[in-house]
Chains A and B, each alone.
Chain A
Amino acid sequence: MKVIEVEGKSIDDAKKKAAKELGLDYRMLSADADIEILDEGKTGMFGLGISRAAKIRVSINVNTTDIAGEVVSVFTELMRLMDIKAEISEMHEGAAKVYLEIESSDSGLIIGKKGKTLEAIQFLVNLMVATKTKSEKKIILDIESYRAKRERALKRLSYDIAKKVIRSGKPWTLEPMNPFERRLIHLTLQNNDQVDTKSEGQGIYRKVRISPKNYKG
């Protein structure tokens, strides 16, 4: 909920100013927001006498939907239908993200090969919640710290491959990875002044190539 108070020469004028401030279409203001008239204002006769500004209070629903509740219900229903036992052990909701920690005796099944299933579940939960609530919050699923472990493993891998590339003087291409993982590799090696990293290929086949600095060929 966001509330602002605006003054104007008239009620109409105040509404226009409020719409501008909130980034809404003036004609849609009454549909999108609650408008409360605090002061009708008064115009002096012939521009003379005492005039008072009109004042309104405008409140808009930034997002009153229960995003976290929706995330829980979508996730729980998916697990039930997939016949996987899983529980949400921890949950944080921030301004832009909802973080979910999952516990399950079927964790291998939820993670899948190279985290593929976890990615797919996260992707669909995001899409389903966004469609339903119009929220743009990013939902992140993690299980048994899988993501944190994978992050450490990828960092180690990038250091190892970088060493190998420097030693051999030849580029090395890693297996295909998702955007998040590729980004992590680029960031890990960005301050290494002996190698360059570059993403190549299309879509799901996109992979990172690590090559010696200024390598030609």
Chain B
Amino acid sequence: MKYKDLVEYVVKSLVDSPDGVEIREIEGEKSTILELKVYKDDIGKVIGKHGRIARAIRTLLNASATKSGKRVMLEILD
């Protein structure tokens, strides 16, 4: 749950339309997948130039998952 909250907090502070942010958490045994959906106009704000923003969010997720030993993956849907 906290992974979802983390992504939600970061993404909602970056986009123009926080109401358009949707995150689905799919939990597996060894990994968790987060599917992120934002309004079309906001997609650049969560990916960034050369994917820099998406990469930074993934780095944060990996750091917070280190203790649990789980893998967390973030997928941005369009």
> CB distance B14 to A81 under 8 Å?
no
The answer to whether A4 has its CB under 8 Å from any CB of chain B is no
Q: Which residues of B contact A123 (CB under 8 A)?
A: 52-53, 56
Which of these binds chain B: A53-61, A109-117, A165-173? A109-117
Tell me how many residues of A have a C-beta within 8 Å of chain B: 23
A124 touches which of B5, B50, B57, B64 (Cβ 8 Å)? B57
Inter-chain residue pair count (beta carbon < 8 A):
58
Shortest Cβ gap from A189 to chain B (Å): 27
> CB distance B57 to A110 under 8 Å?
no
The answer to whether A152 has its CB under 8 Å from any CB of chain B is no
Query: In the complex the two chains form, what is the Cα distance from A123 to B57 in whole Å?
Result: 10
Chain B residues in the interface with A (C-beta under 8 A): 2, 5-6, 9-10, 13-14, 50, 52-53, 55-57, 59-60, 62-64, 66-67
25 A-B residue pairs with Cβ-Cβ distance under 8 Å, sorted by A, are A77-B9, A78-B6, A78-B10, A78-B60, A81-B6, A81-B64, A82-B60, A82-B64, A83-B64, A109-B63, A109-B66, A117-B60, A117-B62, A119-B59, A120-B63, A123-B52, A123-B53, A123-B56, A124-B10, A124-B57, A124-B60, A127-B14, A127-B53, A131-B13, A131-B14
